[in-house]
């Protein structure tokens, strides 16, 4: 399995469910949740393989993403 070199923190409760982040992610590692957040919207969940490209953070109108790359990403990487 390829090692991720990036990761993102997602501010789930700020998400308005617009889904703009889903198609913009080059490795397609963002998928919309089945659950809803505190304000009733589905939100993106991260799968393995983020490259840290920051395109999700650039497109999100609600500033839901914080992107980490390299050692910072590895330090925060607790899930597969
Ligand atoms: S940083 Fe890039 S690869 Fe990672 S989730 Fe965002 S768009 Fe996808
Ligand atoms: S772009 Fe932002 S507001 Fe839209 S679904 Fe993605 S995280 Fe939520």
Instruction: Give the tens place of pLDDT for each residue, 12-52.
Output: 999 999 999 999 999 999 999 999 999 999 999 999 999 99
Instruction: For CA atoms 36, 38, 41, 43, give the dihedral sign.
Output: negative
Higher pLDDT, 64 or 71: 64
Nearest to 77 by CA among 8, 29, 2: 8
**Per-residue pLDDT tens for 52-67?**
999 999 999 999 999 9
Q: Report the pLDDT value the prediction gives residue 80, as an integer from 0 to 100.
A: 43
Burial of 54 (0-12, 13-18, 19+ CB in 10 A): middle
Domains of the chain: 6-75 (3.30.70.20)
Nearest to 5 by CA among 57, 64, 75, 73: 73
Nearest CA to ligand 2 atom 6: 21
Q: What is the pTM of this model?
A: 0.89
Q: Which of 67, 69, 72 to mutate to test the pocket of ligand 1 (most atoms within 8 A of CB)?
A: 67
Nearest CA to ligand 2 atom 3: 15
Alpha-carbon Rg for the chain, nearest whole angstrom, is: 12
């Amino acid at each position: 399995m390829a090692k991720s070199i990036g990761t993102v923190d997602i501010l789930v409760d700020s998400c308005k469910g617009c889904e703009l982040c889903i198609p913009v992610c080059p490795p397609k590692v963002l998928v919309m949740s089945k659950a809803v957040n505190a304000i009733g919207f589905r939100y993106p969940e991260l799968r393995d393989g983020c490259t840290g490209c920051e395109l999700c953070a650039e497109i999100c109108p609600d500033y839901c993403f914080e992107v980490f790359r390299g050692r910072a990403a590895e330090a925060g990487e607790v899930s597969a």
